[in-house]
Amino acid sequence: MPPLIAISAPLRADHGALRVRLNAGYARAVERAGGVPMLVPPLDRPADAERILDAADGLLLTGGEDVEPARYGAAPHPSVTDTSAARDATELALVHAARARGRPVLAICRGIQILNVAFGGTLVQDIPSQRAGALAHDAGEDRAAARVHAVRVEPGSRLAAALGAAALDVNSFHHQAADRPAPPLRVVATAPDGIIEGLEWNEPGWWAVAVQWHPEELDGPAETGLFRDFVARAAARA
């Protein structure tokens, strides 16, 4: 039975209506890897995340707004204007429900940030103004933009195994990043400027892997391998 993958999705104002709107690349990547995508909007009742993870075999956390800095005990930087309390609450509940059930989690972009915050980690709120000398990590709105910076992946990590690579070039659409990782999350990928590009759960019993770049927008063997490994782990329990 193909595994059911819950995918967190944002709300966006569009032509006078509030719509659940997600880049199709996430759902297509899940389908290409053999999974069945199931979108989860921000919930009125975040506790319903428990019911969703009863049903779903895996959880994919996606890109989007900044996490509210109060969630990690920080005052907001002036650049932090696009936030969603409902999405934060929903995704935090989804993460904890997945953790409680041992459901595999793949977290992308905002996903690596919410995963870190869920376990007590902090974020760099604005790379350009807070990390002097950092590379350009926000390539703008061109989703087809090419691989703009290198990433070094920790040999022997779950991420390296899934990617089948210890170094690769990636795309980059973010102005924030994980700062202090929340143990037992550990840093498993970094850009040449030291910005964290990958985290994973460093204890047995839960496959939770997070990347700051957007593998759903790329179709190289490493990105395909990452989605295939995630979906296969979800399938193992389906």
Active site (catalytic) residues = 109, 214, 216
Least gap, CB of 80 to Mn ion (angstroms): 18
Note whether 172 binds Mn ion by CB under 5 A: yes
Among the listed residues 187, 219, 205, the one whose alpha carbon sits nearest the alpha carbon of residue 105: 205
Note whether 190 binds Mn ion by CB under 5 A: no
Dihedral Cα 144, 172, 229, 158, nearest 10 deg = 160
Instruction: For Mn ion, give the closer residue by CB, 90 or 172.
Output: 172
Residues 6+ apart with CB under 8 A from 143: 23, 25, 173, 214, 217
Instruction: For Mn ion, give the closer residue by CB, 46 or 64.
Output: 64
DSSP secondary structure letter of residue 175 = S
Note whether 171 binds Mn ion by CB under 5 A: no
For residues 51 and 40, what is the distance between their CA atoms, to the nearest angstrom?
A: 12
Rounded (5°) CA angle 159-60-1: 95
Question: Which string of x and - marks every residue 88-107 that binds Mn ion (by CB under 5 A)?
Answer: --------------------
Note whether 137 binds Mn ion by CB under 5 A: yes
Least gap, CB of 96 to Mn ion (angstroms): 27
Piece in contact with Mn ion (CB under 5 A), picked from 9-17, 68-76, 120-128, 165-173: 165-173
Least gap, CB of 142 to Mn ion (angstroms): 15
Piece in contact with Mn ion (CB under 5 A), picked from 85-93, 119-127, 129-137, 182-190: 129-137
Strands (E), 21-172: 36-40, 58-61, 105-108, 123-124, 149-153, 167-170
Residues that bind Mn ion (CB under 5 A): 137, 172
